[in-house]
Amino acid sequence: MNNLPKHIAIIMDGNGRWANNRHLPRLAGHREGANAVQRTIEAAQKFGIKFLTLYAFSTENWSRPQDEINGLMDLLSKTLDTYTAQAKKKNYRLLVSGARDKLPPAVLGKIDKAVQITAQNTGLTVNLALNYGARQEIVHAVNTLLAQGKTNISMEDISAHLYQPGVPDPELIIRTSGEERLSNFLLWQAAYSEFYFTPVLWPDFNAEELQKALNEYARRTRRFGGI
Ligand code: IPE
Ligand code: IPE
Ligand code: MG
């Protein structure tokens, strides 16, 4: 396939509605969402994508009921084990973007282990946006630069001090579930991203849906302000 994005970022939305449609608890939707993550990673790898950023938990998601948060953290802790094992087998690298504060120690331990164990892998890079907020990320970058004594900050400086400076800006951002907003995701990096919105709920997302997004992306003309 030609005109393939190097980096795809996905706002994985609609787990709650998927569960609701089936009269199931919201957590059942999150569990099915974790299976969709697995499928999407495999599909991205098959299509030859280099970077895949997945928005798993936002800084605003702490405002959800405590039992949903606990369920999500529990699920995350379990799926991190699965992803780490898969990553080792399939040669993909795991990165995490976000703040460490508020995350339970069990999750932090698993994140560190996953990142460390897969650091040398050369296949797809999966960047999990976890406890992630784009405004917080930019403020964090600026504060890091100030702490280094910088007084004149360039765009390159900010890019170099984001959570994952080695990950290029995404050419394509996908959001599922019919919502058409960024919800504090990659505000800096999305300056010239193409957007693809689909009504498909995240737990129903699969290789075919990813292919549709890639086909649409391939048809777009990116001008970057030129003509
Ligand atoms: C996305 O699904 C998962 C997270 C934000 C953790 P939602 O839980 O937001 O599902 P809806 O939007 O309520 O359907
Ligand atoms: C965005 O989804 C965050 C994630 C997918 C992790 P939300 O469901 O939290 O976003 P809003 O509240 O509808 O904007
Ligand atoms: Mg939602």
Active site residues: 13, 61
132 lines ligand 2 (CB under 6 A): no
Count CA atoms within 13 Å of residue 148 on its CB side. Answer: 12
The pLDDT tens digits for 31-53 are 999 999 999 999 999 999 999 99
Q: Ligand 2: which residue has its CA nearest to atom 1? A: 183
Question: Any idea which residue has 């802790």 for tokens?
Answer: 77
In this structure, what are the phi and psi dihedrals at residue 55, rounded to the nearest 5 degrees? -80, 105
pTM of the model: 0.98
Mean per-residue pLDDT of the chain: 97
Is residue 12 within 6 Å of ligand 2 at its C-beta?
Answer: yes
**Range 52-62 burial, b when 16+ CB lie within 10 A, else e:** bbbbbbbbebe
Closest CA to 197 of 188, 187, 183: 183
pLDDT digits (tens, 9 = 90+) for 50-95: 999 999 999 999 999 999 999 999 999 999 999 999 998 999 999 9
Nearest ligand to the CA of 26 is 1
- At 131 the pLDDT is 98
Give residues whose Cβ lies within 5 Å of ion ligand 3.
13
Per-residue model confidence as pLDDT tens digits over 126-148:
999 999 999 999 999 999 999 99
Q: What is the predicted pLDDT for the residue at 177? A: 98
Of all protein residues, whose CA lies closest to atom 6 belonging to ligand 1? Answer: 57
Ligand 1 pocket, Cβ-based, cut-off 6 angstroms = 12-17, 57, 61, 72, 177, 202
Ligand 1 pocket mutation pick from 17, 69, 79 by most atoms within 8 angstroms of CB: 17
| CA distances from residue 142 to 2, 3, 68, 148, 150 in whole angstroms, order as listed | 37, 34, 33, 10, 9
For the CA of 54, the nearest ligand = 2
Is the minimum distance from the CB of 41 to ligand 2 under 6 angstroms?
A: no
The pLDDT assigned to 118 comes to 96
140: β partners: none
Task: Kindly give the distance from the C-alpha atom of residue 167 to the centroid of ligand 2, in angstroms, as a whole number.
Answer: 22
Residues 19-32 pLDDT 10s:
999 999 999 999 99
Look at ligand 2, atom 9, and give the residue with the nearest C-alpha.
61
Ligand 2 center from residue 127 Cα (angstroms): 17
In this model, does residue 1 exceed pLDDT 70? no
Report the distance separating Cα 226 and Cα 192, nearest Å.
Answer: 12
Q: What does the alpha-carbon distance between residue 188 and residue 29 come to, in Å, rounded to a whole number?
A: 30
